[in-house]
Amino acid sequence: MSPMGPRMPADAPSNRLGLARWLVSKDNPLAARVAVNRIWEQYFGRGLVETSEDFGSQGERPTHPELLDWLAVEFMDRDWSMKAMHRLIVTSATYRQSSHVSPELLKKDPANVLLARGPRLRVEAETVRDIALAASGLLNEKIGGPSVYPPQPAGVTELSYGAITWPTSEGADRYRRGLYTYLKRTSPYPGMIVFDGPTSEVTCTRRIRSNTPLQALTTLNDAVFIEAAQAMGKRVVDELASGTTDERIDRIYRLCVARAPGPMELEKIKAFYETQVKRFRDKQADPAPVALRDPKVIPSGMDLPEVAAWTMVARTVMNLDETVTKE
């Protein structure tokens, strides 16, 4: 066997079919190793081989070579079933660990290379947007179809090479999953780039996660997130028409971070809500632009100060790091 793997059999056809058979041969586990490493990276934020784009001499060595080999063999033995590998990993004891980390372990193993805890990482760019839309009830779950044009800051595409117009989508298309957002190579969607979404100039095998102030500003002020907060504010008022303030706060927390608020969180958010609703009722601020996408069209019977106050609460909770963090 050569350092790069087994040689192609002498009787193999010298064409693309022969190459394909050699790539997925059980005597050549490279393809299986690369595939399972990428699946592992999706769940843990870091592959068993960190350089998932490079398994050659310039790449990193695997941190757990026996595990990588075992997963590769399992992948081949399970008829290359992606579903089987995803199930295997997410039901493993390693993945199901708590992501809580002690100061001592954080200092010893900040990147969780030793897999002594469950993964905790910010979700990918497309999913950040999807979380806001799903929590608010706006998400259009339609599968397939042409790309869409969600709201973005004015003038972005006009500054690109080969300027195009951006016909902002309306109706259900406005709230499709991030996967369906139209991508222009010289002017990528800014809401994705802020969260490290790749451009299309070069192939991207591994995304690098950053943490910048622009990300918090985006989830607080971008049109998509403002509309999601407005929808969530109206949602909790409608769904819990006779509910208490505590119940509505609990509902927003469960929609955004899948848990109930702690006592301190509940106290602070409740005080924030009371400040906001008083501000709107006392006409210190106009509630219509806060609560409604079109402030000129006010639904009959809507308590605008109430919905505006809950919109502000929704914007606050949606802007938490925990909302866009998988743990």
Count of H helices and E strands in the chain? 13, 2
Domain limit, last residue, from 62, 84, 119 = 119
Cβ atoms within 10 Å of 66's Cβ, excluding its own: 9
Q: Cα separation of 46 and 206, whole Å?
A: 9
Residues in the chain: 327
Q: Look up the domain containing 214 and give its range.
A: 121-327
Overall number of domains in the chain: 2
Same domain, yes or no: 85 and 224: no
Same domain, yes or no: 173 and 317: yes
CB 247 within 8 A of CB 307: no
Same domain, yes or no: 90 and 136: no
Same domain, yes or no: 88 and 145: no
Same domain, yes or no: 113 and 125: no
Q: Cα separation of 84 and 95, whole Å?
A: 15
Same domain, yes or no: 53 and 154: no
Domain limit, last residue, from 62, 93, 119 = 119
H/E stretch holding 8 reads: none
CB 320 within 8 A of CB 220: no
H/E stretch holding 82 reads: helix 82-90
Same domain, yes or no: 108 and 126: no
On the 0-12 / 13-18 / 19+ scale of CB atoms within 10 A, 266 is middle
Same domain, yes or no: 115 and 144: no
Same domain, yes or no: 188 and 273: yes
Domain limit, last residue, from 119, 134, 165 = 119
Name which of 224, 219, 226, 230 is nearest 168 in CA terms: 224
Same domain, yes or no: 27 and 51: yes
Same domain, yes or no: 125 and 246: yes
Digitized pLDDT (tens) for each residue of the chain, 327 residues in all: 344 567 888 888 889 999 998 888 888 888 999 999 999 999 999 999 999 888 888 888 999 999 999 999 999 999 999 999 999 999 999 999 999 999 999 999 999 999 999 999 999 999 999 999 999 999 999 999 999 999 988 878 777 777 678 899 999 999 999 999 998 887 888 889 999 888 877 777 888 888 899 999 999 999 999 999 999 999 999 999 999 999 999 999 999 999 999 999 999 999 999 999 999 999 999 999 999 999 898 888 899 999 999 999 999 999 999 999 998
Helix or strand or coil: residue 257? helix
Same domain, yes or no: 102 and 178: no
